[in-house]
Amino acid sequence: MSTAADSSLSLLDNLFWHALVGPHAHFAVGQGEVRRFAPGFSPIVGFADPSRPRLDALLPFCQAGEQFYCDGWSGPAPEGWQVDAEARMQKMIWRAPMPGQDEAPEATRLGPEHLPQILALVELTRPGPFGPRTIELGEYYGLVEAGSGRLMAMAGERCAAAALREISGVCTHPDFQGRGLARRLMAKLIRRQMARGETPVLHVMSVNEGAIALYRRMGFDAHRESVVRVISRRGAA
Closest to 192 measured CA to CA, from 85, 107, 112, 84: 107
At a CB cut-off of 8 Å and minimum separation 6, what does 59 contact?
Answer: 80, 233
* Contact yes or no for 45/62 (Cβ under 8 A): no
Q: Are 146 and 99 in contact (CB under 8 A)?
A: no
Q: Please report the pLDDT score of residue 3 as a whole number.
A: 56
**Confidence check: pLDDT of 236 > 60:** no
Q: Which pLDDT tens digit goes with each residue over 153-184?
A: 999 999 999 999 999 999 999 999 999 999 99
Q: Is the pLDDT of residue 2 over 60?
A: no
Average pLDDT over residues 203-221: 97
Residue spans in the chain of domains classed CATH 3.40.630.30: 3-90+227-233, 92-225
pTM of the predicted model, to two decimals? 0.94
The number of helices, as runs of H, and strands, as runs of E, in the chain is: 5, 11
Q: Which CATH superfamily is domain 3-90+227-233 in?
A: Gcn5-related N-acetyltransferase (GNAT) (3.40.630.30)
- Give CATH for domain 92-225: 3.40.630.30
Quickly list H helices, 96-145: 115-125
For residues 167 and 189, is the Cβ–Cβ distance under 8 A? Answer: yes
